[in-house]
A and B are shown apart, each in its own frame.
Chain A
């Protein structure tokens, strides 16, 4: 599996849509509602940010959350999306 050095990016056929109830990740036959944090991660899955850079930017947004915990959260979130083929590494 990809290490923290990869540049995650939304896969073809997947996109994030803003709705009144928050962001939704649209995939070919399904959708996932994102909470604020999930949405902040996905917005940075642009093929330019590394996972470490995403974590660093989230640290600014979620002050008071330990770096280790934040790292684990981001990694597990990305792993679940990789499993659904919603993100790829570039």
Chain B
């Protein structure tokens, strides 16, 4: 058996096993997927940390005031993290009995949310990001999960607003997969990231175990792993749809991914006891290890792909160099017949079954998500681009992140610097 066969088989088997497990989870729990109707409406304190969002914060507050939840059962707490634009002036206009406004010196996202926590009086704390749009019924759909006393957090379903464009479509497909996977993790008690945009927490948890880790570059992952370590339950509401805006530029996207992945590695390291198989739960035995195995297999597959196609590229280069870079004749040689032969060769390769199975499995996840989320926009083109290209970007971002971890390179975010996922120093305020 050569390297190519080995990588295909090991990836195929792993993919088949994990997919089978996920689908078994789905088919065994179909009655538990829809959100429970809340029996009562606990008082919710919605905390919005803001930093330089003068254009969108007004709209955000207005839409939150109009959500479908008893008006006397929630308050909005807006905390301005030392914005340097007109954010504070904008939010001050909303101050009322239902909307409390605060401002403080810049300290980062986690620090700002913790500040809000100290001011909050609700039984349930909601954290909401400023540049996010939520569905009117989201809160209503999420609170029902708190009936179970062991539930300490509820995550929402993260969707994408700006879905047009090549990279945007690929990210949209990724988030879409995430909606499905997060619900499946919920059913296996294995949620290990509580995404920022809209998340709910039981207030008494913070009183007992402290707030967010202010030195962490991904404090939402730390919070989730901490809760899992205590044995608490984290649920997901598949109906509570929130729409976030993905980075529009490639460099911003890279920076975001480096933050996410270095943070994930940092928290995995700190919470490595969760990876102990002897804990005998789905999180430790399957879900967490699987996330790292996926990364390793991605690297392996990419290596094999390059290795076996390098020869091809090398030959082309030799051909061009001796013919005086006569590209036209090279292209003339690529006849329709040649292309058909190539396609036929790939389509009848001994691995085609696994390729097709992989694509069909992913498609099934998409179909299930589309059904439960009520997504109206067409996802087909996003799915195609995702299937073809995501793998390369994923590997690229992980290579970058590992590079940052190994070299201890600084990551700047807002006014702070992070090294290996931990805050290095707070930059001094320019006053």
Q: Do A and B come from one complex?
A: no
Residues of A within 8 A of B (CB): none
